[in-house]
């Protein structure tokens, strides 16, 4: 497994769960210095990335961009796939398509996250699903030829009311039936919504493409009471070998949070490796 850190540009909303808010090329350098393998870009617009400059920093450091995330499209601009207004849905799809084309430059995935939207008051879950699936198909039509995966992240009920747990994520992925649409569990949300880490991970093991990690309080791993030993044992059992990317709060300060996450995750990976020897 590899470890990553979610970062954003300096103008990211305070609500964005990122540690570093800086020029993205500097974020790459800061993550490399702390021992990360990759850096996830949490974006509002694809145009926020200076592609040639970032590629130079990636080449110099050996880091990757495993994922482009789109939470700010929802939180800052209120664009999402289930909106009753077709113009809003179209704008959300276009924003994600731009991120898909950006992701293709880096061999990255695109996290559709909260841009999937919500079930509106007075509307049925079936209506939300219909709108969501229509939008995800339009995105998949672009993503599949480019080899870009679209990852569905179940998010807890206190943030959205649609696709809250891994079982719901798995159900809609199967309903979509697109080869590029995969699951992205986030153990912070799982700790709220999924009754069992083992049952959730095991049921979805063939669809999991990427994982977000944070502790129970959204701080860096090791600073809360998340059962990480159990989680790492389960991931070993299901044969997961992808990224574990920290999506955490920058507390008590960004450098301390980023350092703690890197040290903790490297330590757990080393411990897991020792178990297999």
251 — phi, psi (to 5°)? -120, 145
> For residues 91 and 76, what is the distance between their CA atoms, to the nearest angstrom?
13
* CA-based nearest residue to 113, from 87, 126, 98, 132: 132
Q: Are 111 and 67 in contact (CB under 8 A)?
A: yes
Q: Is 239 exposed, middle or buried (0-12, 13-18, 19+ CB in 10 A)?
A: exposed
> For residues 218 and 251, what is the distance between their CA atoms, to the nearest angstrom?
9
40, 64, 149, 247: which one is catalytic?
A: 247
* CA-based nearest residue to 143, from 87, 88, 102: 102
40, 64, 153, 193: which one is catalytic?
A: 153
The C-alpha angle with vertex 165 and arms to 265 and 41, in degrees rounded to 5, equals 50
Q: Which residue is it, tokens 């080869």?
A: 179
> For residues 86 and 83, what is the distance between their CA atoms, to the nearest angstrom?
7
153 is an active site residue: yes
247 is an active site residue: yes
The C-alpha angle with vertex 180 and arms to 211 and 68, in degrees rounded to 5, equals 50
Tokens of 246: 């920290």
Count CB-CB contacts under 10 A for residue 264.
19
Q: Which helix (H) or strand (E) holds 6?
A: strand 2-7
Count CB-CB contacts under 10 A for residue 6.
24
Residues carrying an active site annotation? 153, 247
């Amino acid at each position: 497994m590899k470890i990553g850190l979610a970062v954003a540009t300096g103008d990211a909303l305070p609500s964005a769960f990122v540690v570093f808010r800086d020029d993205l090329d500097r974020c790459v350098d800061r993550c490399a210095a702390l021992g990360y393998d990759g850096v996830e870009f949490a974006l509002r617009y694809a145009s926020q990335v200076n592609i040639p400059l970032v590629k130079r920093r990636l080449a110099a450091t050996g880091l990757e961009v495993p994922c482009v995330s789109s939470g700010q499209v929802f939180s800052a601009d209120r664009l999402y796939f289930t909106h009753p207004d077709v113009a809003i849905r179209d704008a959300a799809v276009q924003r994600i398509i731009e991120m898909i084309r950006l992701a293709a430059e880096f061999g990255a995935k695109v996290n559709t996250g909260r841009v999937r939207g919500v079930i509106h008051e007075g509307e049925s879950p079936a209506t939300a699903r219909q709108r969501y699936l229509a939008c995800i198909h339009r995105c998949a039509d672009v993503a599949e030829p480019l080899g870009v995966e679209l990852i569905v992240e179940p998010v807890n009920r206190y943030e959205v009311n649609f696709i809250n747990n891994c079982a719901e994520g798995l159900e809609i992925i199967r309903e979509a039936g697109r080869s590029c649409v995969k699951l992205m569990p986030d153990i912070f949300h799982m700790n709220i919504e999924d009754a069992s880490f083992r049952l959730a991970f095991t049921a979805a093991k063939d669809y999991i493409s990427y994982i977000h990690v944070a502790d129970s309080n959204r701080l860096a791993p090791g600073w809360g009471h998340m059962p990480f030993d159990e989680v790492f044992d389960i991931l070993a059992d299901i044969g997961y070998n992808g990224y574990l990317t920290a999506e955490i709060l920058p507390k008590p300060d960004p450098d301390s949070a980023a350092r703690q996450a890197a040290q903790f995750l490297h330590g757990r990976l080393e411990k897991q490796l020792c178990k297999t020897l």
